[in-house]
Structure 1
Amino acid sequence: MDIVHYLPHHDVVFPKIFCHFKIEMLFQLRLVSKSWQSLVTEYFRRRRNLDLSEFGQKMTVDAFLLMTSNNKVLKQLLVPEATSWLMDKHLLPVIRNCSHVLTDIDLSNCSQLSSLSLHSLAVNCRNLTKVSLKGCIWVDKDNFKQLVINNRGLRKIDMSRCWLLDDGCFINAATSCPFLEELILSCICSVTDSALVIIAMKCKGLKHLSVKRCWQVTNCGIRAIGDHCKDLKILHVIDCRDVTETSLARLRVRGVAVDVPVPS
């Protein structure tokens, strides 16, 4: 038998050895023998972070279920671009099992999910700090509001292209989540200065704001962000037609990285 089987699994093999293996290698190890299969299965059951960003559509439902079905300690779940295979029935059990510890979830562009998944996140999870639902056009107002109300510790929210949301949703988010540091609202045409003014006043620790292609945003909203958010480092306002150097110049002087070039 391999020497690894004589080492303490929870104190040595999992945190010192398996944590350095790529997921493909772990699946290959499962094919070696039943004892290796059992060991890898136990590792996935105790794994706290699962980043599947590199796989996208190449991941399979069976592989996902093998890695998550018996896990109740998952803190980070990153499954962006799972456009063809990830459905509510696969994700909901993971949310329920890990709701008490889950802090970071990325479901960007997971088009086969529905508001059922957002509802489960909103109702069950109370410790989220990072949420990315970029491109999830199924995100609805009521469940989003419930999500931010139940997760006051949120530091990052990415809702790019979530077209059903509006100013009221983001005002609610700013009011409920005063510790926000990163807020990405790209390509949401309904965002206006009204939301930005409240965001500026409530989220003074904001470091990264993106309202690119939010056509109703003007210098008024950007000026409010500049006046109140003294820690701002990154601002994306490209294609905001009514945002000019009138509001951007002062931010550039402070060293804020703006995605719009300085006029010649």
Structure 2
Amino acid sequence: MDIVHHLPHHDVVFPKIFCHFNIETLFQLRLVSKCWESLVTEYFKQRRNLDLSEFGQRMTVDAFLLMTSNNKVLKQLLVPEATSWLMDKHLFPVIRNCSHVLTDIDLSNCSQLSSLSLHSLAANCRNLTKVSLKGCAWVDEDDFKQLAINNRGLRKIDVSRCWSVDDRCLMNAAISCPFLEEIILSYNLSVTDSALVMIAMKCKGLKHLSVIGCWYVSICGIRAIVDHCKDLKILHASDCLRMNEACLSWLRVRGVAVDVCQCHLKTH
């Protein structure tokens, strides 16, 4: 500890040593001594990325609060599958403290959260570029619209299985966020061709689109995407009942990777 203690923490220890440790190792270091505990705590205060994807339900509230409570520079927060422990009251301080720098947040399947968290994101964060709300049934239509309006620089949005996100929401998002490059709409039965047409018209830099399980999307919506989104690289369209193989073949000719596994394709 004496050697590490005398090294510059912010210039050497944190960016050159601690950045290579995983979360579990950092927490083990806290148990060595009071000095190590203090050093790790200080490290979490200045950490800019926090990816807790591997932990899911194994994470605890106390551990999360230790890593985030005093951090005001967090740019990326990934907490997917935090189904049993993450609640609004735990997320609010992070949003409040890091609203000016937060760009990437993943709340996929965080079922204990509510629309209040989305409202807080929409009201406070203006620099988001990636937002994943996959499986969040609590997503509120009005707050989702406000989130899009306040974050014109959005590049990726995942609203798979978000039942309240309908065509009107997506059309508003397309108009408000013209730089969207990745849009994931899987298993959203409220999505129709109307949304895809607006996305095609407004988000011409679209590179990745997923409409897996979107039963009301047909060749009309896909054709609009084909005609207007010249940078499209990936289309996930499995389990779509109204797809047409001719339209998908047109995409393949352009070099687009098309996933049509389990698709009920029409040949005529």
TM bracket (short chain): over 0.9
The answer for the alignment partner of 1:77 in structure 2 is 77
The answer for the alignment partner of 2:185 in structure 1 is 185
What letter matches 2:216 in structure 1?
Q
The answer for the alignment partner of 1:145 in structure 2 is 145
The answer for the alignment partner of 2:90 in structure 1 is 90
The answer for the alignment partner of 2:156 in structure 1 is 156
Counterparts of 1:70 and 1:3, CA distance in 2: 26
Deviation at 1:2, TM superposition (A): 2.5
What TM-score, normalized to structure 2? 0.97
| Alpha-carbon contact 1:219-1:246 (below 8 Å) kept | no
Counterparts of 1:256 and 1:201, CA distance in 2: 19
| Alpha-carbon contact 1:79-1:107 (below 8 Å) kept | yes
Deviation at 1:77, TM superposition (A): 0.2
Matches within 5 A, 1:161-176: 161-176=161-176
Deviation at 1:99, TM superposition (A): 0.2
What TM-score, normalized to structure 1? 0.98
Counterparts of 1:192 and 1:121, CA distance in 2: 27
What letter matches 1:152 in structure 2?
R
The answer for the alignment partner of 2:60 in structure 1 is 60
| Alpha-carbon contact 1:72-1:97 (below 8 Å) kept | yes
1:31-87 CA distance string (max 9 Å, x none): 111111111000000000000000000000000000000000000000000000000
What letter matches 1:175 in structure 2?
I
Question: Identity over the aligned pairs, expressed in percent?
Answer: 83
Which is worse superposed, 241-250 or 13-22? Answer: 241-250
The answer for the alignment partner of 1:120 in structure 2 is 120
The answer to whether structure 1 residue 29 and structure 2 residue 29 are counterparts is: yes
Deviation at 1:249, TM superposition (A): 1.1
The answer for the alignment partner of 2:107 in structure 1 is 107
3-state SS of paired residue (1:183)? strand
Unmatched segments (≥5 aa) in structure 2: none
RMSD: 1.2
Unmatched segments (≥5 aa) in structure 1: none
Deviation at 1:246, TM superposition (A): 2.5
Q: How many residues get paired?
A: 264
Deviation at 1:244, TM superposition (A): 1.2
